[in-house]
Structure 1
Amino acid sequence: MNNFDFSFLNIRFLDIIDIVLVAVIFYYIYSLIRGTIAVNILVGLVIIYLLFLIVKQLNMSLLSQILGGFVSVGFLAVIIVFQQEIRRFLLLIGKNASMRHITWWDYVFGKKDSSQTTLTFIKPVIDACKSMKKSKTGALIIFAKYFDEQYYQNSGETMEALISKRLLESIFQKYSPLHDGAVIVADGKIKVASCILPLTDNETLPPQFGLRHRAGIGISEMSDAVAVIVSEETGEIAYAKQGRVKMNVGLDELEKLLNKDA
């Protein structure tokens, strides 16, 4: 009987950890780009690289040089093309690290759980959404975990106001000078109103999605913010997170989502 030599495998425990970490990274990358136009771009880059390998093996010098030019700047091209996804990936890492730090800090010094604070400003949002849903008042409310002061305030009106049902209804009232844009909520306050946000480039969205939906999805693509959108046409509530949108969200479900993500 022949003896098979598996010594070439030589798998160490660190190799297993290495494989697991790479798998986790790929999973996070996939979860970030799933359902977005970035998937098509990634497929295109993979196809170009495979074609380069094929023409190189076939000694097709002209095509090899052309495709080789794309491959040689591939790393830089990936950074440029996927800058929003890379930004979200880094924010995701930073958020998880900071949350662990806060949990440890609170544990050591015995601070109160922040969930009680969260409930105090989510209830007025739910009440306002209920009222605007009934009256079919269009609204776009962004919950930002990391408030980029320069980014948001350059395109909106600074408020620094406590959240209340009447204030939100007044902002999004049809004849209000601040209704055309988004309200940015951070640290339990309305930081900015009438904020202009970047629109999503996702071409697979339903045609009935207006600027509010596309702006809410767009800001969730490029940051860890979540968006609550009230349709002016139907009064339906939508919820956008990580570039994906959930339609026909009920008030109870919306409260659970905000308690988890806001």
Structure 2
Amino acid sequence: MEFLDFSFLKMTVIDVVDILLVAIIIYYIYNLIRGTIAVNIFIGFILIYVLYFVASKMLHMKLLSGILNSFVSVGLIALIIVFQQEFRRFLLSIGKNISLRNKLWMKLVFGKEEVEKNNLAKIKPIIDACKSMKQTRTGALIVFSKYFDQDVFGNTGEFVDARISKRLIESIFQKHSPIHDGAVVIAENRIKTAGCILPLTENDKLPPQFGLRHRAGIGITETSECTALIVSEETGEISYAQQGKVKMNISFTELERLLNKDF
């Protein structure tokens, strides 16, 4: 009786690491494109590759194979062009994970209580302003960025460069302010600009009650390493957007936790 040869199944430690790394990359890519229009584009790419394989390898259709081969040969470049936002978000998410590890080291070196105490002093005016705007149902959009990107935020809105203040935030978003419809950008622990016009998200699966303010807040987090805080003008509900995803109707305790983590 002959035994089957399973030698090809032998795996080394490098093989296991290889599989794990590929699985992690696939998981990150799935999270980035899940629920977005990029899913439909990705499915379209897969269908074209399947059609190319069937036409060239199985049915030997020379004309169709030649046309599809021209597309497949530049497939990688086309993927980078079409999914440039998703690639950007993928790289930003990796960098953000590294930044989070650096924050953990800071807490170990300087003490968790001291770091969180300093953060609370920075975010308290923002939380207090949100409490007031929630009660009065004043619409607001606040973007938080580690660094001020002149190309992203400097072309629209009014340059402020002021200390973070509850009264200043409230005055910017009060209904008679000429810049209340735009976004406030907080970077480097200062209010940098106000009245900024942000790119809207292309996600077509958002709740119908989301207006331009919510879509702009989600859109900026899809294309840059920012987070966005949105106060609904209709309901006073507070939402928090990050990496193209949004948490709705969050409490002030949850808001403090999110801001403390981002600061």
Q: Structure 1 length as normaliser, TM-score?
A: 0.91
Displacement of 1:105: 7.3
Amino acid at match of 1:34: R
RMSD: 2.0
Q: 1:234 to 1:105 in 2, by over 3 A?
A: closer
Q: Structure 1: state its 5+ residue gaps.
A: none
| Residues 94-133 of structure 1 mapped to structure 2, 5 A cutoff | 94-101=95-102, 110-111=109-110, 113=112, 114-133=115-134
Q: Distance in 1 between matches of 2:233 and 2:182?
A: 13
The answer to whether residue 208 in structure 2 is matched with residue 207 in structure 1 is: yes
Aligned to 2:3: 3
| Residues 224-243 of structure 1 mapped to structure 2, 5 A cutoff | 224-243=225-244
Offset from partner CA, 1:64-113 (integer Å, 9 cap, x none)? 22222221211111111111111111122223334445655786xx4455
Answer yes or no: is the 8 Å Cα contact 1:118–1:188 preserved in 2: no
Offset from partner CA, 1:103-129 (integer Å, 9 cap, x none)? 55786xx44553332211222111111
Greater mean alpha carbon deviation, residues 78-87 or residues 236-245: 236-245
Q: Distance in 1 between matches of 2:106 and 2:230?
A: 35
Q: 1:105 to 1:127 in 2, by over 3 A?
A: closer
Aligned to 2:27: 27
The answer to whether residue 46 in structure 2 is matched with residue 14 in structure 1 is: no
| Residues 72-151 of structure 1 mapped to structure 2, 5 A cutoff | 72-101=73-102, 110-111=109-110, 113=112, 114-151=115-152
Q: Distance in 2 between matches of 1:260 and 1:104?
A: 14
Greater mean alpha carbon deviation, residues 66-75 or residues 95-104: 95-104
The answer to whether residue 66 in structure 2 is matched with residue 65 in structure 1 is: yes
Q: Distance in 2 between matches of 1:246 and 1:36?
A: 16
Displacement of 1:38: 1.2
Displacement of 1:51: 1.4
Aligned to 1:173: 174
Q: Structure 2: state its 5+ residue gaps.
A: none
Q: Distance in 2 between matches of 1:95 and 1:10?
A: 36
Amino acid at match of 2:28: Y
3-state DSSP of counterpart to 2:47: helix
Greater mean alpha carbon deviation, residues 19-28 or residues 113-122: 113-122
Offset from partner CA, 1:154-180 (integer Å, 9 cap, x none)? 222222212121111001011112212
Displacement of 1:242: 1.3
Amino acid at match of 2:32: L
Aligned to 2:41: 41
3-state DSSP of counterpart to 1:8: helix
Q: Distance in 1 between matches of 2:104 and 2:137?
A: 40
Amino acid at match of 1:171: I
3-state DSSP of counterpart to 1:233: coil
3-state DSSP of counterpart to 1:228: strand
How many aligned positions are there? Answer: 260
Runs of 4+ more than 6 Å apart: none
Q: Structure 2 length as normaliser, TM-score?
A: 0.90
Identity rate, percent: 62
3-state DSSP of counterpart to 1:140: strand
Greater mean alpha carbon deviation, residues 223-232 or residues 211-220: 223-232
Displacement of 1:58: 1.0
Aligned to 1:196: 197
Q: Distance in 2 between matches of 1:259 and 1:214?
A: 24
Q: Distance in 2 between matches of 1:101 and 1:254?
A: 22
Q: Distance in 2 between matches of 1:64 and 1:152?
A: 46
